[in-house]
Amino acid sequence: MTEENEDFLDEELLDSHDIGADIDEESKGLYEHLNITVDSKQEPLRVDKFLTNFRQNSSRNKISQTCRAGNVVVNGIAVKQNYRVKPGDQISLLLAHPPRENHIIPQNIPINIVYEDDDVVVVDKDPGMVVHPGFGNWDKTLVNALAYHFEKNGNKTDLDRVGLVHRIDKDTSGLLVIAKNEHALSFLAKQFFERKTKRLYWAFVWGNVKEDTGTITGHIGRHPKNRMQMHTYTDGSQGKHAVTHYSVLERFRYMTWVECKLETGRTHQIRAHFKHIGHTLFNDARYEGSTALRGVNMPKYKQFINNVFEILPRHALHAHTLGFIHPTTKEEMYFESPMPEDMANAVKKWRNYLEN
């Protein structure tokens, strides 16, 4: 039997093979993709039992839920758990797994839950909150807050960890969906893996973006000199294929409010792509966007920019919408998050500056 193993992550994340520990909590995978060729001497065996034997750290229930979600494909066809494997079968398995590298301590931290039922929780995350414990941020994360919320409300789930299916950066605000059981985790993992969810981001970028709509295409990989940054390689020599579509929502002469739709999901995709075209995210310190990159060389203007930085003390990126198919009802769920207060106040400041 042969196996190929690859970790997949959502937007602003790379797989664990491509990124070092210096990216902190973004270094771990949320999905595991296995390609297995069944040995020529294999006796007929139910695929759920076969995979449970093969993946001894995965429970039979987890494998069964993965089958029910359509995440087990044999010879190009999704199969149920009672399918019997045969010699030479080509098995593709998409396995969602909550990170398990440390014990999750429930912590009473306020979070904005916009929707919850027996299968999913949708959270509107504040900027400054890390999603999952990791290097340098072992507690006070969204996962710690959710663990407390579940415990306080007596939620019974079949997960031993909070079921993340995607993540956003610490300083990015906006919507995330979290699974509460194995079925929901597997079902949602497939949607994110196949990029069938509906998500739009709002960003403020330096400068006056020339076109009202556009597409940025270029492989994204680690920066050749600064390992804390990602870099756009238009020749495809390094990194992974990435596509960002954008449209301009409002212009502020020296800053532009854009809406972004990601065709792919790479580490810091929006941040790296807009830096590549000369429009770094506003106040994005990691990508040199925390100084006045556009505008006049006047003390009053520089003071104005510093005042806006104080109002918006983080990179200006917000996960505005989230749409997905519910794992049980199969209904389309759609959520919108209003512009957070810090970004809204920055808009008011810019509008007032231009009017005066």
Q: What's the rounded Cα separation, in Å, for the pair 77 and 91?
A: 9
Q: What's the rounded Cα separation, in Å, for the pair 127 and 202?
A: 13
Kind and range of the H or E element at 50?
Answer: helix 47-54
pLDDT of 187: 92
pLDDT of 10: 36
Write the CB contacts of 153 (distance below 8 Å, at least 6 apart in sequence): none
Q: What's the rounded Cα separation, in Å, for the pair 336 and 42?
A: 50
**Residue with more model confidence, 271 or 152:** 271
The residues that bridge with 256 in the sheet, in sequence order, are: 205, 251
By CB neighbour count within 10 A (0-12 exposed, 13-18 middle, 19+ buried), where does 261 fall? middle
pLDDT of 9: 36
**Residue with more model confidence, 69 or 221:** 221
Reply yes or no on whether the pLDDT at 11 is more than 70: no
Residues designated as active site: 169
Q: Which of 338, 14, 339, 332 is nearest to 167 (CA)?
A: 14
pLDDT of 154: 77
% of the chain surpassing 70 pLDDT: 86
Three-state SS at 36: strand
pLDDT of 262: 92
Reply yes or no on whether the pLDDT at 12 is more than 60: no
Average of per-residue pLDDT across 6-31: 35
Residue type, 213: T
pLDDT tens digit string along 332-355?
999 999 999 999 999 999 999 999
**Residue with more model confidence, 99 or 277:** 277
In this structure, how many other beta carbons lie within 10 angstroms of the beta carbon of residue 298?
Answer: 9
The residues that bridge with 206 in the sheet, in sequence order, are: 255
pLDDT tens digit string along 128-187?
999 987 666 778 899 999 999 998 887 766 565 678 888 899 999 999 999 998 899 999
pLDDT of 102: 54
pLDDT tens digit string along 171-216?
999 999 999 988 999 999 889 888 899 999 999 999 999 999 999 9
Q: State the DSSP string of 150-167.
A: HHHTT---S-SS-EES--
Structure tokens at 299: 């003390």
The pLDDT confidence band at residue 39, using thresholds 50, 70 and 90, is confident
> Beta strand 173-179 with 317-325: parallel, antiparallel or unpaired?
parallel
Reply yes or no on whether the pLDDT at 83 is more than 60: yes
The pLDDT confidence band at residue 70, using thresholds 50, 70 and 90, is confident
What is the model's pTM?
0.78
Q: What's the rounded Cα separation, in Å, for the pair 238 and 219?
A: 7
The pLDDT confidence band at residue 33, using thresholds 50, 70 and 90, is confident
The pLDDT confidence band at residue 123, using thresholds 50, 70 and 90, is very high
Average of per-residue pLDDT across 115-130: 96
Reply yes or no on whether the pLDDT at 26 is more than 50: no
The pLDDT confidence band at residue 15, using thresholds 50, 70 and 90, is very low
Write the CB contacts of 109 (distance below 8 Å, at least 6 apart in sequence): 140, 144, 145, 148
Average of per-residue pLDDT across 51-74: 81
For the chain, what is the mean pLDDT?
85
The pLDDT confidence band at residue 4, using thresholds 50, 70 and 90, is very low
Of 19-33, 101-115, 221-235, where does mean pLDDT reach its minimum? 19-33
Three-state SS at 141: coil
Q: What's the rounded Cα separation, in Å, for the pair 72 and 81?
A: 9
Reply yes or no on whether the pLDDT at 28 is more than 90: no
Three-state SS at 113: strand
Write the CB contacts of 152 (distance below 8 Å, at least 6 apart in sequence): 106, 108
Tally the residues of the chain. 356
